[in-house]
Amino acid sequence: MIQEPTAVFAYLAGALALVFWVSGQSRFEGLFRITPPVIYAYFVPTISTTLGIIPAASPTYDWMVRYLLPVALLLLMITIDLKSVARLGKVALVMLVAGTVGIVIGGPIAFLAVGRWLPEGAWTGLAALSGSWIGGTANMMAIAGSVGTPDAMMGPIIVVDTVVGYGWIGIMLFLSGYQDRFDRWIGARTDTIDEANRRLRDMDADRRPIELRDGAMVLGLGFAGAVLAVRAGQALPALGTPTIISNTTWAVLIVVTVGLALSFTPARRLEHAGASRLGYVALYLLLTAIGAQADLAAVVEAPAFLAAGVIWLAIHAGILLVVARWVKAPLFFFATGSAANVGGAASAPVVAGVYHPAMAPVGLLMAVAGYVLGIYAALACAWMLGFIAG
């Protein structure tokens, strides 16, 4: 068993590197298309703990959980181009918000439907899942820390996120072959796609290899900002019964708000050197630490959680369909608006590109907007879940 804190961190970092190396091998392309790297980033450390390779508790995990999430969120928020998001167009933003509303109200309804078969405190797991389905893994970790989701409950939540969430992404990819039929059925205005396509092109044209100066600024800003946010969050009172706005939540809200403010300054140029990529590395490292503390046996509770997930996304899809008919949105915006919520930045560009190959940047920007909405909307969903459970 590896016990020394630095060695534990090195093991987790090495495991994450191995996952992404394997995901890049052509022979495993089909496997990682079905099961994304995120699930292995979680379960490889979980299995390692089960086998006794690394401990179930370590100061390393405490440090990673406390600081890596603020680092990741700060770097992701700084690099958001809100001006480009605002230029997406009314239909795109309406469908994105409709998808978010579907997640916010779908969670409490699903909990009311199957809550009797879920374990005690399951609302905290569903709250974490709401974060994942409104913006992605970063928001899941933020909400989990906010409501105190037990590490053991993250196992079934990751299963639901992967099986139900990516199953729904797969359905939307399948439906791409029927978009003309759908668009005729609702009388969709396809000119909105052409308009968005004209406004958003070549998003990665300014990206450059990271230099020493860039790396120092990104890491310095990320970690200094994270520590200051954590200290500020500890000085503020917890709010809610049960607690929804905890000290961790205050730190996250501070990081998100300051990061968004900095996105209007020259600090956003750090994205040209790949600052958001380093933010995702910090996020996935955090996920390995969460996975290392999880109880593999908790996955047997997944069936009830899976049922909740299916009901949840059915409500989400229903609301999107109603709004799509109302605003005459093409199936492209239905699918991309949903993927921007449920799949986040990893899936939305893929879904958008399948429907219209030149429109992948639109999917990415809608997912970015989902990150901004995510932390606030998911907190509202968490509050409703906690109210029902209480």
Average pLDDT value for the chain: 83
Structure tokens at 82: 């809100």
Maximal CA-CA distance, the chain: 63
Under 8 Å between Cβ of 378 and 131: yes
Q: Distance between CA atoms of 385 and 111, rounded to whole angstroms?
A: 7
Low-confidence ranges of the chain (pLDDT < 50): 201-204
Q: Which residue has the tokens 């394997």?
A: 22
pLDDT (0 to 100) of residue 202: 46
Residue 232's pLDDT is 92
Distances in whole angstroms, Cα of residue 304 to Cα of each of 101, 111, 307, 342: 23, 10, 5, 19
Instruction: Give the pLDDT of residue 203.
Output: 46
pLDDT of amino acid 205: 52
φ, ψ of residue 245 to 5 degrees: the values are -100, 90
Residue 165: DSSP 8-state: I
Secondary structure class of 211 (helix, strand, coil): coil
pLDDT at 192: 59
Beta carbons of 359 and 332 less than 8 angstroms apart: yes
Q: List the structure tokens of 374.
A: 């995510």
**Tens-digit pLDDT profile for residues 244-253:** 566 777 887 7
In tens, the pLDDT along 287-318 reads 888 778 866 666 666 788 999 999 999 999 99
Whole-structure pTM value: 0.69
In a 10 Å sphere around its CB, with 0-12 CB exposed, 13-18 middle and 19+ buried, how is residue 124 labelled? Answer: buried
